[in-house]
Amino acid sequence: MRIYRCSKVVKGGRTFSFGALVVAALHRRLNWVALYEASLATLKATAMVMWIFFGATMFVGFFIVKGGQTFVSDLILATGLAPYGILFLMMTVLFILGMFLDWVGILLLTVPIFLPIMKSLPFDGAFGLPGVAPGDVALWYGVIFMVNMQMAFLSPPFGYSLFYLKSVAPPQISMAMIFRSAIPFIGLQIVGLTLCIVFPGIILWLPKLLYAGHG
C-alpha cells in the first residue's frame, strides 16, 4: 500500500510538471534558460526541506531510544486533568512540536503515546453537546491530529509552507514578512480545530454515513 501511494505521488508530480511545461510553451516562455532556472529553484527547495526532514527524523530516533515516550505518557496522566483538558494539552504539545519537526516525525513520536491515552478516556461531550463513542475516538483523534498538523506547515520557525513560499517569493519578501503573514491563517486553523473538537459530528458524520450505506 505504501509503495502504491508513493507511486501515485510520483505520477501526480509528473503530471503537474508536464502541465507546467505545456502552459509555458503556450505562453512562449519554454526555453533552456527557464528550464535551468526552474530546475535549480526546485533543487534548492527540495534540498532545504530534506535537510529539515533528516534532522527531525534523527531527533525522533534519539528521543525514543532514550525513553522519552514513556516519560511523556506518565507525565500527561499525572496531571489529573479532565479528558478534554488532556486533549487540549495534547494539542498544545503537537502545535509546539510542529514548530520544529516535520509531521511524519511528530506522528511517529506522539501517536504511540497519545492514542492509547485517548482511547482510555471518556469524551462525553463539551458544553453539553454530543460526545464521541469509544469506538470512534481513534478516527476522531486522527482527523484532529491532521488538522493540527496543518498548522505545523504554517508555524515558524520551521514551517514547510513558509519555506516553500520564500523559495518562490520575490527577493524583497523577507522571512519575517512571511512569518507575520502566516499568523491570521494559523488563527483560522485554530478555529477549525476547535470546531472539530467541540462538534465531533463534523468529522464523524460522513464516515458513519458511508459505513451505514455499505452495511
Phi, psi of 123 (to 5 degrees): -115, 90
Using DSSP, how many helices (H) and how many strands (E) does the chain show?
A: 9, 0
CA–centroid distance for 208 within its chain: 24
For the chain, give the percent of residues with pLDDT over 70: 88
**Cα 58–159–166 angle (5° rounding)?**
120
Q: 0.85 exceeded by the pTM?
A: no
Block residue for cell numbers 502545535: 95
pLDDT in tens, 50-85: 776 777 677 777 777 877 777 877 888 888 888 899
**Cα 191–194–196 angle (5° rounding)?**
110
Q: What is the pLDDT of residue 212?
A: 67
**pLDDT confidence tier of residue 91, bands split at 50, 70 and 90:** very high
Q: Among 111, 118, 100, which Cα is nearest to 197's?
A: 118
Q: Among 165, 155, 167, 61, which Cα is nearest to 100's?
A: 155
For the chain, give the percent of residues with pLDDT over 90: 13
